[in-house]
Structure 1
């Protein structure tokens, strides 16, 4: 499920959004929930043009912080691994990367749901890992619940079709004659 981190201008605005619990965007109902900004130095960049090379991504990302490595993912997105020293700068780095448009594609950068080794042993890192696991478990539960509902709906439809097939005609053609 896509995630969006929003910084509100005031505490009151944040509290109003959280109290609403839902927002409609392009006809889709999205939930609103509070979350700490992730503790990670890995930026996941999506919406890259097929013409944009890893060298270009690396060069652009280096202009905002110290990049240790770049990983190309199967879906065409890229994970940019910044130095652990960039952790305090990650919100600003992500903000700047979200303003990039190259080869006709506007980049979308967000914290990758991965934790660098150095952070895994810190209390913040372990707390973040726990939250990520809870989020994944919650998403799996939502999907399982949807599958259960779809399964019940399919079973009801199947039963209705079978009932129609097995039922004799209740009304004969003769009852509609006009003579």
Structure 2
């Protein structure tokens, strides 16, 4: 491959990366929902490569993209996030358990008490301009595949949705 043929290939790759980073992920369970029935979660990080990124929603990976917006079915969700060590964040994956309402928009942003070594997030209901309740469970880490959500977190949100629970159990860390 010559420099003349490599440049268009690299440009196309950079453009594809940029477009997928701006894309919106829609979870399978939300495919049949109208726009006003969705819960939308948006990252607050302005960079193409964020400091903290979503790796799984309800133990399902959104794929190899890094979307800034997630269209989700309302209800309890287990959202696994990982820090980006290339940007100085500890990988330190965590799974957040949050209840999202239909037709609402939410933003996840760094907690004011953050440090790069022990990052935490706040989930904010954009319309009410206030934090929502979020539980935190540890997630595992694999050097090859990255964050690995704890299946117990996904089982818990399935149970919370099945029973119509409005609060997290007391044993979940907040």
Range class of TM-score, shorter chain: under 0.3
TM-score, structure 1 as length reference:
0.24
More helix, by proportion = 1
Larger radius of gyration: 1
